[in-house]
């Protein structure tokens, strides 16, 4: 398959974007910001 490397790189890049968009305290690229519980605040 001629474009196998290109296809695998595309899948890897899209997976990375999806993972980074939903990781952290701000989910869905800053559209949803959950409140921190009072018991965890210092």
Question: pLDDT tens-digit profile of 5-21?
Answer: 999 999 999 998 877 76
What does pTM read for this prediction?
Answer: 0.50
The total domain count for the chain is 1
21 contacts: CB under 8 Å, gap ≥ 6? 28, 29
Q: Which two tokens stand for residue 10?
A: 């595309």
Q: Residue 32 — φ and ψ, nearest 5°?
A: -130, 120
Query: Which is higher by pLDDT, 11 or 22?
Result: 11
Asked if residues 13 and 4 have their Cβ atoms less than 8 Å apart, the reply is no
In the DSSP assignment, the letter for residue 36 is P
Domain membership of residue 8 as a residue range:
1-40
Strand-pairing partners, residue 27, are 32
In the DSSP assignment, the letter for residue 23 is -
């Amino acid at each position: 398959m001629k474009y196998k490397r290109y296809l695998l790189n595309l899948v890897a890049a899209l997976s990375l974007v999806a993972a980074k968009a939903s990781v952290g305290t701000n989910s869905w690229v800053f559209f949803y910001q959950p409140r921190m519980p009072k018991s965890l605040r210092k």
